[in-house]
Amino acid sequence: MAPGGPRRCRRLEGEAARAVLANADTLLFDCDGVLWRGEAAVSGAAETLGKLAALGKRLCYVTNNSGRTRAAYIEKLRRLGFPPAEPRHIFSSAFCAARYLRQALPPNSAAYVLGSPALAAELEAVGIPYLGTGPAALPGPAPADWVKAPLVPAVRAVLVGFDEHFSYAKLCQALRYLLRGGPDCLLVGTNRDHRLPLEGGAGIPGTGCLVKAVETAAQREAFIVGKPNRFMFDCVAKEFPVDPARTIMVGDRLDTDILMGNDCGLTTLLTLTGVTALDEVRGHQDSGCPARQGLVPDYYVDSIADLLPVLGE
């Protein structure tokens, strides 16, 4: 951000682009809407990342999506022609949630999980016992039955991620663990994205809807692992010696990618291949509202492939 004034978003091109990229040693990429849309890579994106890797840049992947393991991300990057990545380069909200619980939970604690098999796998990988994944039915016909189902004594956290099996039965059980444990039972959400965009403009309800349902029942706020919370950047900074002044956050969402990047003092770059149009940026920029300044990226590109020409041969 230019000192002494509000942030103004400029197109990243030409000499300025060369200078910004030369000054960076780490780039953090959001995935959906930046590198790919569904199963199709953004045209030229894989080549761009290949060039950046060849120039010795550190490439990390920072995604709120809790529906895939790190191994699945590595495989998808490979399949779509991106440069090879190792597990330590992947910071998904599923992995970061497991990491958060490992540091926040007392030993021998378990988690009640509303989430995908991928979220369960990441918990397993860090040695946290869990239950709750998959479909669940109410344990009887009447509300009095619902509050009599056994509770596992070791559960000291409720973790909410994307869960296609989310149901009233699970919501009920989550509330019971939270009421039993009080403040000693953690409430953690992978992210607050309210919708997942699909190809063709359709959208399905995002994890944020499920987090809200649990928060409303329990009347308490969840700790959110994903962007815009800085926890995911802290995970990157624990793994690698990153200097915020030499790090670029590349994303397609203002209220997650760009907000986190700005909050952490990174250079922020919006790409227009995802959910955001430039008009939204201008709206924030011209609002005169200090809170909305955090949603204004330093730079934008139509696509990250626009960086190819300034990366040389």
Tell me the binding residues.
30, 32, 227, 252
Under the binding rule (CB under 8 A), the answer on residue 31 touching a second copy is no
Using DSSP, state whether 270 is helix, strand or coil.
Answer: strand
Whether the Cβ atoms of residue 281 and residue 297 lie closer than 8 Å to each other: yes
The verdict on 172 binding a second copy (CB under 8 A) reads: yes
Strand blocks (E) in 43-122: 58-63, 90-92, 110-114
Count of residues of this chain found to bind a second copy when the rule CB under 8 A is applied? 37
Q: Which residues of 243-273 are buried (b: 16+ CB within 10 A; e: fewer)?
A: eeeebbbbbbbbbbbbbbbbbbebbbbbbbb
Q: Per rule CB under 8 A, is residue 254 in the interface with a second copy?
A: no
For a second copy, the closer CB: 226 or 261: 226
CB closer to a second copy out of 38 and 56: 38
**From the list 80, 196, 308, 311, which residue makes contact with a second copy (rule: CB under 8 A)?**
196
Nearest to 44 by CA among 18, 80, 86, 14: 80
Catalytic site residue 30?
yes
**Least distance in Å: CB of 166 to a second copy?**
4
* Positions 277 through 296 that interact with a second copy (CB under 8 A): none
Among 30, 32, 122, 163, binds a second copy (CB under 8 A): 163
Q: What is the DSSP letter of 177?
A: H
**40: contact with a second copy by CB under 8 A:** no
Residue closer to a second copy, measured from CB, 71 or 138 = 138
Contacting residues for 22 by C-beta, under 8 A, at least 6 apart? none
Cα angle value 1/299/14 (rounded, 5°) = 115
Query: Which structure tokens are listed for 168?
Result: 């009233």
* Catalytic hit among 32, 255, 257, 298: 32
Binding residues for Mg(2+): 30, 32, 252
Active-site residue, 234 included: no
CB of residue 205 vs a second copy: minimum separation in angstroms? 4
Cβ-based nearer residue to a second copy, 72 or 237: 72
Task: Indicate the residue among 199 and 279 with the shorter CB distance to a second copy.
Answer: 199
Of 19, 55, 154, 204, which one interacts with a second copy (CB under 8 A)?
204
Question: Could you give the CA distance from residue 63 to residue 226 in angstroms, rounded to a whole number?
Answer: 8
**d(C-alpha 150, C-alpha 165), whole Å:** 20
Residue 280: phi, psi to the nearest 5? -65, -40
Catalytic residue, candidates 30, 193, 257, 298:
30
User: Using CB under 8 A, which residues numbered 90 to 149 contact a second copy?
Assistant: 138, 143-144, 146-147
A 10 A CB-CB count for 70 gives 22
Binding site for a second copy (CB under 8 A): 38, 138, 143-144, 146-147, 163-169, 171-172, 175, 179, 194-196, 198-199, 202-206, 208-210, 212-217, 219
Which residues are known catalytic residues? Answer: 30, 32
